[in-house]
Structure 1
């Protein structure tokens, strides 16, 4: 039996988004849902996805 993972949680600890493994923003060997999450919310903005209130 084998399993294939095609979606993972955004690497931002405050984020609730899931990201396709072949998409998203790859940084530091991790996968993020947006540039804002990948930049650790340096400008204070959230990821912008509905239902997610992350700001780093």
Structure 2
């Protein structure tokens, strides 16, 4: 038995896209249509839909650093330069 959820509206402010099971990105318990929307369009990344321009609805101070960017930053700083304390 194949259970699919109905398409939901993207949680990105002003986004007109629908979130399907095939293209579902989750962040903080909300569903988004793309990684750009889930990260609130860092560096003004456009919505993948040509008809939607939700990136213009997100204020610069509301944009989040993506989890993948945080993971990359942590990996770049490991191992830390400080010696292990006894």
TM-score when normalising by structure 1: 0.78
- Give 1:26's aligned residue: 26
Q: Which runs of 5+ in 2 are unaligned?
A: 59-86
Deviating 4+ runs (over 6 angstroms): none
Question: Partner residue of 2:16?
Answer: 16
In structure 2, how many angstroms separate the alpha carbons of the residues matched to 1:42 and 1:52? Answer: 16
Correspondence for 1:6 = 6
Higher strand share: 1
- Tell which structure's C-alpha radius of gyration is larger: 2
Deviations, residues 4-50 of structure 1 (Å, cap 9, x unaligned)? x5111000012100012x34101110000011100011210121212
Query: Which has the higher relative contact order, 1 or 2, with Cα contacts under 8 A spaced 6 or more apart?
Result: 1
Number of residues paired by the alignment?
Answer: 52
Q: Which has the higher helix share?
A: 2
